Amino acid sequence: MKTDTSIAARAQEENWLPILELALQEVFEIMLGCRLEPASGSEHRTGGDITGMVGLAGSACGVLTVCCSTRTATAVAKHMLGAETVRSEDHVWDALGEICNMVAGNFKNKLSGMDGTCMLSVPTVITGGEYSFHSLADGGCLETTMLFESMPVIVRLDLHS
């Protein structure tokens, strides 16, 4: 690969979408003990009420987001922490932020040459359905929707070139 190839072009060339999907599936299996199912094209996709975000900087720059409904995020938190432990919105936010962080870390570790050259930010969680995400990145975007207990989980990677 040429050194002048942008990270967005590399993502296309190396077909990173299956790697992103595998990272997502592995995190849900290991941390929640649950298998994700692929969403069909007809699955209802909305922006969701809650979004976890992790920034990537270094050899790959961009933002990875995990977006779902509050109901889905609560189910994730209950699987991750135990139903009796989840007592507040803070627990739900923390769980979704940590899932997003683990997906981003798992994904970057699967890419050759990214281990020590790409850093992750601390996760940020946004709540409420009245927002739109607009990346100012001039690179590409990878997006996948998987079903967790028949509820959509949307993962998106916006890359800066």
Average pLDDT of span 134-158: 88
> What's the rounded Cα separation, in Å, for the pair 4 and 1?
9
pLDDT tens digits, 62-109: 999 999 999 999 999 999 999 888 889 999 999 999 999 999 999 999
Residue 104: C-alpha distances to residues 19, 20, 29, 33, 107 (Å): 11, 8, 15, 19, 5
CATH number for region 7-39+48-160: 3.40.1550.10
pLDDT at 5: 58
Residue with tokens 């909305």: 46
Residue (of 30, 66, 27, 62) closest to 49 by Cα position: 66
Q: Taking the domains of the chain in order of start, what are their residue ranges?
A: 7-39+48-160
| Long-range CB contacts for residues 55-58, cutoff 8 Å, separation at least 24 | 55/120, 55/121, 56/104, 56/108, 56/118, 56/119, 56/120, 56/121, 57/118, 57/119, 57/121, 58/117, 58/118, 58/119
Structure-model confidence comparison of residues 116 and 123, the more confident one? 123
Quick: pLDDT tens for 29-65.
Answer: 999 999 999 998 655 566 579 999 999 998 888 999 9
Can you tell me the distance from the alpha carbon of 128 to that of 51, in angstroms, rounded to the nearest whole number? 9
- Residue 159 one-letter amino acid: L
Q: Can you give the three-state secondary structure of 54-105, one letter per residue? A: EEEEECCEEEEEEEECHHHHHHHHHHHHCCCCCCCHHHHHHHHHHHHHHHHH
Residues 6 or more apart from 41 whose CB is under 8 A from it? Answer: none
Phi, psi of 104, rounded to the nearest 5 degrees = -60, -45
